[in-house]
Amino acid sequence: MYSAAIQRYFNEHIHLPYSFFLQPQRFIRHALKKKGAFMATAYNYVEPSEADNEDIIEYLATDFDVMAGNTAGRLCVLMKLPEPTMPLHCKMIGCSIKQDGSNPIWRTIELTEQGTLLLCGWGEGHTHMFKGILRCGECGRSMYLRSKSNRGYYYYCTLHENYNATICPKKAVKQEDVESLALRLIQTQIRAFSDAQRLIANLNATPSSQTRYQIYETQIDDAKRKIEKFNQLKAALYGDFADGLLSHQDYTDLSEDYSRRADDLRIFIAELEKEKEKYSVGFGSKMQWALLIEKYKDQESLDAEMAAAFIETLTLFNDGHVEVAFRHRDEIEQVLYVAATRGKEAERYAG
């Protein structure tokens, strides 16, 4: 359930750092120019679906204190916030960049469940790699990357962290475990797609397959010629109608008949094209998965761009069960299906 506590958590851990890393120089410039008003605007952001929620806090510019600094060649902004009211809320936020605008860093001082304050440092590489992708299997909410004392970074369920286990029992998962898992899942699908595509290419390079390909091409060309013939017959009807050789009813009936026959042939051609493609040596080469594999074939580690390119959702459960939905999964299914059917077909003819 959305609340003022979640509103503050989202803004401190998602919206603000995302905006900072997106345009760090602009973020710092606006923060120093507008100060408290800038922060109040940010903190008053509410998820559109919760705009009418009554449990929302309206922050004022006077609730914040924004200060500038210049340390070790870095331009820094320190933001003092309203007192945190629950664990994971921030007491202070600091961000900095080098004078040339590079190397953005985001730091927070947060209240822990033990009542102490914890300093967390976020580099650009620690922004949420799986933003909008990683899901909690226990409650369905998103999971976010956070530091865990001196034990490194973990992915947390927002509800679990804000309300402990009373709302969601999902345990935190180490960053490296999630990211290595995602990379393995992607690599497994890449191998499956590539192996299937390679099998199809080898099968389709045989003389019998090339003959089938040519047969489909001949049928398609023949159907196209028939369509052209129906178009010509249809065009000639008006002349006969104008010369009084056809009644209006006959003209209409014949015109519709020719159009219907041409449409049926177009549908037939579309089916033939699908069948012909199954016997193409380059089957699947223009699919999005093939293009993605070519783009990332030499990449040995996972980054946010690669994760978003391949994965639509990754859902983690407490018992270790994982569910992944890949993007363009219809292409994967199609290639695997064609590889299986073409393989059986080759075995049948070989026997």
pLDDT grade, residue 99 (50/70/90)? confident
Give dist(CA 119, CA 139) in Å, integer. 28
The pLDDT > 70 percentage for the chain reads 88
pLDDT tens, position by position, 287-305: 999 999 998 888 777 877 7
Can you name the residues that pair with 103 across neighbouring β-strands? none
Quick check: 125 pLDDT over 60? no
Quick check: 240 pLDDT over 60? yes
Residue 218 tokens, joined: 């001949």
pLDDT grade, residue 316 (50/70/90)? very high
Secondary structure (DSSP) of 176-209: HHHHHHHHHHHHHHHHHHHHHHHHHHHHHTSHHH
Give dist(CA 277, CA 264) in Å, integer. 20
* pLDDT in the model for residue 85: 82
- Of these ranges, 4-13, 96-105, 331-340, the one predicted with the greatest mean pLDDT is 331-340
Quick check: 124 pLDDT over 70? no
* pLDDT in the model for residue 262: 94
Q: For the whole model, what pTM was predicted?
A: 0.58
pLDDT grade, residue 115 (50/70/90)? confident
Quick check: 92 pLDDT over 50? yes
Quick check: 147 pLDDT over 80? no
pLDDT tens, position by position, 329-349: 899 999 999 999 988 887 877
Q: Calculate the average pLDDT of the chain.
A: 85
Quick check: 158 pLDDT over 90? no
Quick check: 168 pLDDT over 90? no
pLDDT grade, residue 1 (50/70/90)? very low
> Phi and psi at residue 265, in whole multiples of 5°?
-70, -35
pLDDT higher at 178 or 128:
178
Can you name the residues that pair with 168 across neighbouring β-strands? none
> Phi and psi at residue 297, in whole multiples of 5°?
-65, -30
Alpha-carbon distances, residue 195 vs 15, 165, 189, 284, 336 (angstroms):
41, 44, 10, 12, 9
Question: C-alpha angle with apex 245: 240 to 251, nearest 5 degrees?
Answer: 60
